[in-house]
């Protein structure tokens, strides 16, 4: 901004001009760093609830903090710089004017009004339409009186293996929500994540992202990798940590139950701090039995149970999502797709979504 001021005095023989010089400033975005590259890959279709009141959690283990290295720009360019916590807080506008060297004798300048504070681009809390369940199943299971079909809000989870999805058609088949595979370990990004993330939103489907956890990488670098590749957006569902034993992964390590819970806590703490949402824990029966029974009572759970109701497979565990099939088929998707259901009524769903943001 450049400001000029002219002052005149009563004697005609005196004239002086005063000019104020201009100045400019710029603020560069924070630089991004990525985790240490590895050869870890996975061919699994990993299958990853309302946020629970936050409770005190142990401080992250210092040993879990990775040493950052320079990122590969092509992997991060689409997501842009990592937003800082204040990015979603409107900042009041401030109008500054230079102070005159002396008070004008003839008049007083009118007050300068500060411009309105910038608005945050957020989704309006409207209730989206709920479509009835119309999925089919290649290997249907008779769940008896506890059939997932009796619950109102169904959804899916997807990864690269579902290929190019017709999201509008998938939604009308009953996909009222979707969890999209985002990252593995500390250096792998699902090649379809960017497209799926954007297309699902355009189709009006509530969506969230999940991370497949590797036991051969530190929790801190895995959390950083997820954060750098998954945008923080108003209206998105809480992030998911997918924890299970996966024999198809190059990481065959099985750490102790205590170490499992320690690493999970570090990862979840970092995500909750960044996204402002308590992460959801997705798991399978064997991993739950070995590591999670009786743990993380204040976290929402997403449970895989394709042969019986979760109450039989995970007795006493409260849950928000139930993955009841890995062999679903639907218009809009070639091949099989995982089927899920929300634990509650249609009103419960809308309330949970509202509380999650």
Q: What is the DSSP string of 179-245?
A: EEEEEETTTEE-TTHHHHHHHHHHTT-EEEEEEE--TTS-HHHHHHHHHHHS---TTPPPPEEEE--
Select which of 40, 75, 119, 244 is catalytic. Answer: 244
Q: Which two structure tokens, joined as six digits, stand for 158?
A: 């997807």
Reference 273, options 82, 34, 80; nearest CA is 82
Report pLDDT for 125: 54
Q: Which two structure tokens, joined as six digits, stand for 306?
A: 């394709």
Report pLDDT for 49: 39
Report pLDDT for 197: 98
Residues in the chain: 357
Measured CA to CA in angstroms, residue 321 lies from 44, 50, 129 at distances of 20, 10, 19
Report pLDDT for 248: 77
Q: What is the C-alpha to C-alpha distance for residues 124 and 226, in angstroms, rounded to an integer?
A: 26
Q: Is 347 left (phi over 0), alpha (psi -120 to 50) or beta?
A: alpha
For domain 62-66+126-355, is the CATH number 3.20.20.80? yes
Tens digits of pLDDT across the chain (357 residues): 433 343 333 434 433 433 333 333 333 333 333 333 333 333 334 444 344 434 343 343 434 444 444 444 334 334 434 344 333 344 444 343 343 333 333 333 333 333 343 333 444 457 889 999 999 999 999 999 999 999 999 999 999 999 999 999 999 999 999 999 999 999 999 999 999 999 999 999 999 999 999 999 999 999 999 999 999 999 999 999 999 988 777 888 889 999 999 999 999 999 999 999 999 999 999 999 999 999 999 999 999 999 999 999 999 999 999 999 999 999 999 999 999 999 999 999 999 999 998
Domain range annotation of the chain: 62-66+126-355
Tokens 């379809």 found at: 192
Report pLDDT for 249: 77
Is 244 catalytic? The answer is yes
């Amino acid at each position: 901004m450049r400001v000029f001021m002219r002052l005149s005095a009563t004697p005609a023989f005196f004239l002086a001009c005063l000019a104020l010089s201009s100045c400019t400033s710029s603020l560069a975005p924070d630089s991004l760093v990525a985790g240490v590259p590895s050869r870890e890959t996975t061919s699994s279709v990993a299958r990853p609830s309302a946020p629970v009141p936050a409770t005190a959690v142990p401080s992250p283990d210092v040993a879990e903090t990775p040493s950052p290295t320079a990122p590969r720009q092509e992997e991060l360019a689409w997501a842009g710089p990592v937003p800082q916590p204040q990015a979603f807080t409107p900042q009041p506008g401030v109008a500054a004017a230079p102070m005159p060297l002396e008070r004008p004798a003839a008049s007083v300048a009118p007050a300068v009004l500060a411009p309105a504070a910038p608005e945050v681009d957020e989704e309006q809390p409207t209730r989206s339409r709920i479509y009835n369940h119309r999925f089919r199943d290649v290997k249907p299971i008779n769940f008896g009186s506890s059939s997932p079909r009796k619950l109102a809000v169904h959804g899916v989870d997807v990864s690269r293996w579902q290929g190019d999805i017709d999201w509008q058609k998938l939604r009308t088949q009953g996909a009222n929500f979707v969890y999209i595979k985002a990252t593995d370990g500390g250096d792998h990004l699902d090649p379809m994540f960017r497209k799926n993330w954007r297309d699902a939103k355009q189709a009006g489907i509530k969506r969230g992202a999940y991370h497949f956890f590797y036991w051969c990488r530190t929790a801190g670098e895995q959390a950083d990798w997820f954060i750098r590749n998954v945008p923080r957006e108003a209206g998105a569902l809480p992030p998911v940590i997918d924890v299970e034993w996966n024999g198809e992964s190059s990481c065959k390590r099985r750490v102790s139950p205590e170490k499992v819970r320690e690493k999970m806590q570090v990862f979840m703490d970092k995500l909750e701090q960044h996204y402002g949402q308590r992460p959801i824990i997705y798991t399978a029966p064997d991993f739950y039995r070995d590591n999670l029974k009786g743990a993380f009572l204040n976290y929402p759970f997403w449970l895989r149970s394709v042969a019986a109701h979760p109450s039989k497979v995970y007795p006493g565990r409260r849950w928000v999502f139930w993955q009841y099939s890995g062999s679903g088929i639907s218009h809009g998707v070639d091949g099989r797709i995982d089927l899920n259901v929300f634990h509650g009524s249609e009103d419960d769903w809308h309330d949970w979504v509202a509380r999650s943001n």
